[in-house]
Amino acid sequence: MSQVLKVVVTVLRDGRNGVGSSHDFASEEDRRVAMSWPSGGLEQVAFALLSEAVRREALLDVLLLLSEDPGYRERLVGIGAEDREREVVRLECLVREQITTIAKIVTKGAVSEALQVVLDEGT
């Protein structure tokens, strides 16, 4: 049996091009489903959001390559499986580097926020 829940992500952008986000369950039914999962769905939602962030970064990086190199797509179409796999590995490293850079920027704030949530729940 599969269970599905929807999480709404809100993208917050300030006037200096800073970007943040917040998220919540799309409905009370989604919240109820999540609460029936181990850890109230925290692990599952975190994994899903991280997976989606990596997927979005991968698409962004490929689209940037396409815009910077108009012949990139045609070259991809013409290469064999081994060369395609090498390109996947090359792009995988690029995406991992981007995600790591972003993680270094946001981790301290995320950890501070998590600690504050725990402190606020105790009061």
Predicted local distance difference test score (pLDDT) of residue 62: 95
Predicted local distance difference test score (pLDDT) of residue 63: 96
Q: Token pair of 109, please?
A: 């704030």
- Is the confidence at residue 53, as pLDDT, over 70? yes
pLDDT tens figures, 82-109:
999 999 999 999 999 999 999 999 999 9
What are the extents of the domains in the chain? 1-36, 49-121
pTM score of the predicted model: 0.81
What burial class does residue 17 get, using C-beta atoms within 10 Å of its C-beta: 0-12 exposed, 13-18 middle, 19+ buried? Answer: exposed
The residue among 82 and 123 whose pLDDT is bigger is: 82
Predicted local distance difference test score (pLDDT) of residue 3: 85
Predicted local distance difference test score (pLDDT) of residue 123: 66
Residues 6+ apart with CB under 8 A from 8: 23, 24, 25, 26
Return the percentage of the chain with pLDDT > 90, whole number.
77
